[in-house]
Amino acid sequence: MRSVVFGVVGMHGGLSGVHQRELKHDIRSIYTAVNATAARAVSDDFADKWGDRYPAAD
């Protein structure tokens, strides 16, 4: 999961303002999850949502 967050943060500069806000919200949901199982589920959702548009997120 950590590699997903850092990979996406690395590409953060190339995102539009609308996507930056939404991406930050989605990343925050990963690292504020109540436990590792919840974080993994949110991380998988994150990859599904952003992976096609931004391959580093997958």
Q: Write the pLDDT tens digit of every residue in 6-30.
A: 565 555 556 667 787 888 889 899 9
Helix ranges, the chain (H): 2-11, 17-31, 36-50
Say if residue 3's pLDDT is above 60: no
Domain with 50, as residue range(s), is 2-10+17-57
Q: pTM of this prediction?
A: 0.69
- Angle at alpha carbon of residue 55, lines to 10 and 7, rounded to 5°: 25
pLDDT above 70: percentage of residues in the chain: 69
For residues 30 and 1, the answer to whether their CB atoms sit within 8 Å is yes
Q: What's the maximum distance between 2 C-alpha atoms anywhere in the chain?
A: 31
* Residue from 57, 55, 58, 45 nearest 8 by CA: 57
Say if residue 5's pLDDT is above 70: no
- Angle at alpha carbon of residue 32, lines to 26 and 37, rounded to 5°: 95
Q: Could you give the number of structural domains in the chain? A: 1
